[in-house]
Amino acid sequence: MTNEQMIHENKALIDNEARKYPHIPFHVMQIESYKIARNAAKSYNKTSGVKFSTHLTNQLKQLSRISTQYGNIIRIPENKQYQINKLNQVESHLESEFGRMPTVAEMADSTGFGLGVVNNLLKRRKKEISVNNIASNQLFDSGASDDWVHYVYHDLPARDKLIFEHKVGFGNRPILGNVDIGKKLALSTKIVDQRVKMITKKLEEGMHV
């Protein structure tokens, strides 16, 4: 089993550990969790007799220190964090339903928030991500930071993971154009184009504001 497969099989554990720190934006702790998980996979000794999940849980205790570090930097009102979490959930649901990134108006309609509130939440979320110092200057071709790329990858549904892998050669997949990706996955080129744009937009969130 590869390191990426071990991490994928323990996604629930990683996300649950990230949720233990409600005073820090979930997506910030999630990024840190996946960074620790990748290091844990690299350091894991398969002959030790210890399950990877146990090794990973022990490594994820580092989140406590990171939580303290960010707690000294980030102060987000509880009601705003609730709104951001709700927005994230709605955005993910609408992406799956529509096969594309939802518009601000669609997210406002589904959350019950006003357009101005949604726009402000999106700006706040983007700034919080930049605080994590995960930004860089290019996209997709590993321009976003390694931590952010892995976070985006692990948060994608299975179909989009395959598109991502073939787009950038992730996991040693052959790099393909959108047309060839569509043929391989039995998808129209239009759908592949839409998913690539969605993934690219997520990677853009890892750039400085």
pLDDT digits (tens, 9 = 90+) for 77-101: 666 777 887 887 888 788 778 878 8
pTM greater than 0.95 (yes/no):
no
Cβ–Cβ under 8 Å, residues 33 and 63: yes
Cα(147)–Cα(153) distance, rounded to whole angstroms?
10
DSSP state of 60: G
pLDDT tens per residue, range 9-60: 998 998 898 888 876 767 677 778 888 888 899 999 989 999 999 999 999 9
Cα(163)–Cα(184) distance, rounded to whole angstroms?
10
| H or E segment to which residue 122 belongs | helix 115-131
Q: Is the dihedral of CA 78, 19, 98, 205 positive or negative?
A: positive
Domains of the chain and any CATH numbers? 3-71 (no CATH), 78-131 (1.10.10), 146-204 (1.10.10.10)
